[in-house]
Structure 1
């Protein structure tokens, strides 16, 4: 991840929250120097946002996801 992505931001839904709770440790262990910023808030559209060296930003909406 570190070669092109500068940071990843998660805007939570229940499915994204479950992903973070289950997979954060492995993701961080695989990328120890990579900053993964997690902030919880309410009243927003759930999505994942990444800052990149290649493109100004990458955003992917995550509405309607479950925990699988």
Structure 2
């Protein structure tokens, strides 16, 4: 149950980061699906869906690229 809550919270925060990124970006950039990342926590592994944008300029702050 705790892992499901962690996953939901992290994915919501990542989607909010993407909304903020796209609001300040130039025209022509939009969402382009999701990538998958596995994060290791104290309670186990969590598979997250990380949002992507068409121009690949989104760099999440919550869970940075290449960070586990």
TM-score of the superposed pair, with normalisation by structure 2: 0.28
| Higher relative helix content | 2
Q: Kindly indicate whether structure 1 or structure 2 has the higher relative contact order, using CA contacts under 8 Å at least 6 residues apart.
A: 1
